[in-house]
Structure 1
Amino acid sequence: MMIARFALPLLLALGLSAQGAAQTRQPIEPVDIPPSVEQGVDMIYVDPEIAPEVGERDALLKDLALKADDPGAPVDLFLPVHPLYTDLRRGLVRYRMTWGALPDVVIPEGPPLKPGAAGERVALLRERLGLSPGTRYDAVLANAVRDFQGVHALKADGVAGPGTIAALNLGPDHFERLLLVNLERARRLPAESDAGRYILVDAGAAQISLYENGKAVDSMRAIVGSAKTPTPMMAALMRFASVNPYWNVPPDLVKTLIAPKVVANGLPYLEEREYDILSDWSDDAEPVDPASLDWPAIAAEGTSMRFRRRPGPWNSMGRIKFMMPNDYGIYLHDTPDKSLFAAEDRWISNGCVRVEDAERLATWLFGRMPEGSDPKVEEQVDLEDPVPVYITYMTAAPTADGGVLFRADPYGRDPALIARYFGADGGDASDIALATP
């Protein structure tokens, strides 16, 4: 049985956490995002107050896996878990009963198959989707293709193009393994029975959910890290907000955007855009005279100096930053450009999380939108009770009708995880006990 090959290695290897020391100082950009213990599955636990509950649960899960008469029994029958875990486990049951039970036949590559097509490839497509034998691409087949596409993160147009054929040829075991990987991610989230409030950021969906007493009470869209600067999987305590914040400019933008503008337009550009220049990234950095700098050299080679934009409506941080002190410079923040939240591609940030409705989030946290005494001065507003923030990465989600919906993998993490935990050939997911931990 595959339990020893997948479940126990994950229990024993992924039950660990990478704890960073909690920092009281305000983190600064840019960020050098480190890998967690098992990149793509595990979390970095910044604050020790958050990690022990997960660690204790992992210890109990190890004991269950090693001692229980049925180590493949669903975890949520023994221990409290996040509702996402329970819903995904149910989705796995349904997936195995529907898509997992279909014939696993290979369809040769070729031109897109669409209504009206005929031939041997159409016959194999019909067989793969469990339809009656035939060689014609009829309305029944188009509907079956559309249903498959809707579940498997494909454009549901009823046309079996190269992407759809490739997904079908991966076979049901591949997608069952994806569900098992996502179950591991969900297992690292707070249990439904955990009291209090917390924020869940799903970088896989670019979505923020607000939880109270184990239940989601609100949600909004987010903009998260790009594939080059991914938002890390981590957990930390939100301790305060910065009202009317500065924006510390990432060095690559200093090189590619600010310095060329200064070269082209002169030093007045800096004052017009309200940029300050500091000697370094430390707390006691000194102001730097822009006239003393070699701007063509900065445009060509960059600089280690710190550029920041003063508070204001044009500031990329918007009106407020939600701070969870950590060594990785990750936080949630407002943004003046709300139009980007309407886009499907919201994986475009430098790693931090932009919030669709910062005022609504602030009101949930503070009971009001904090206002500073001076719009040109950054001020810190402490939370009376710190609120945990969990940042995960889900590439599969449960649906309201008990099924599952696969998503794109914008950070490209899933193939390596499947190869690592199931072997080069992917193993046999049908042999894995239902919802093993």
Structure 2
Amino acid sequence: MTKPFSILVVDDDRAMRQSLVELLEVAGWRAEALPRADKVAEFLGDFLPDVILTDMRMPGMTGMDLLESLAQDWAPPLVLISAHGDIPMAVEAIQKGAYSFVEKPYEPRRLLTILRHAAEQRRMSQSNDRLRERLLQLSGLDRILLGGTPVVAELRGEILDLAPLDAAVLIRGETGTGKELVARALHDLGSNADGPFLALNCAALSADTFEEEMFGRIGQSEGRLIAASGGTLFLDEICACPMAVQAKLLRVIEEQQVLPVGATAPTPVSLRIVSATNEDVDAAVRDGRMRADLLFRINTVVLTMPPLRARRDDIGLLATHFLSEYGAVYETSVPQMTQDDLAALLAHDWPGNVRELRNVCERRVLMARRGTGAMAQAISADHPHLDDIPDTLREAVAAFERELIGKAIVANKGRMDAAAEALGIGRRTLNEKIVKLGLDKDALL
């Protein structure tokens, strides 16, 4: 059952006050009354109504004074009831934030309609606030984008605002700032949350195999884009996408349909487009590495991820969070941060951003398991000397692939399909690389 609307009536005229209360109670409202406006602030500590109905002219504090004293986000809407001579003042009050005003003598039906609309607006606002808070908790945005700096708080608000919309979003930011996490949050909070989330590493896409892999082949395969219909398509590293593939993606985005190989008629798809890049997209267009028409399709809204060096006040909080997280993962006690540890964290420039900080904290926990280490050592281990770099480019690439694939397998707990998707490659390609690089999956796990 819906809770009845509540109202506080403020009027120094006793007869008027009583008649208003009687009218409202007959209409099903819970009504309280006060003879003076200067008593309202104290009264609101015990009773916060949906609406305040106040006379304009009263001894001491006027209706205008009351409005100015309640200029807070939590305050209920205020409706003025005024004599004909007070109308210019009432108009001024509305310009300053009052919900509406009613002339004396009032017409009961019109008064009740105005008050009901004000109360409904108040209830809707409160409902939206509660929903936003609930979504913030459910989505884990406070954990994904942990931090108290204003730039992070603003970013969390932007994500909550954008999530229900179908507008294309371009996420810009340096490597390691959490662009894919934000893309997933937009999906998880959106209207298509029950649909698939398809992440494509655009740098790994090939024009030769794109259509069969993404559009499918009649009688053989469905195609990844068709399978992802009703969900979100995340285009990571969009500036690194081959030009020939960009043309095919543009056609999909514009037409919202694909033509499977061997088909005579296209198949409709419904995809929300979220893209990400760590490059300057305008420079990529100027250099001829990105189509301008594709950029116009994917940058309806742009979110910018702040680098970690721009939010140094969050570093201590983030490090504490990651240390606790990896303490639980490795089932060991969490190393306590000292002043020297914090000084080392703050002195570092964090070119790898939050991802680098996470890796440093994992390394610190592993050191602590052996009873050694400090944060400065964990940081320096993330930046090896040149002597540690392989002699040839082929060896360096193999070492990098070995580390990257190993981390993906561990992060996805041995689920190879998930590891392949995280790496932006096919399952078959992942299996071939594991054999070529001599990786032992069981040893990793």
State which structure, 1 or 2, has the greater radius of gyration over its C-alpha atoms: 2
Task: Name the structure, 1 or 2, with higher relative contact order (CA <8 Å, separation 6+).
Answer: 1
More strand by share: 1
TM over 0.5: no
**TM-score scaled by length of structure 2:** 0.25
More helix by share: 2
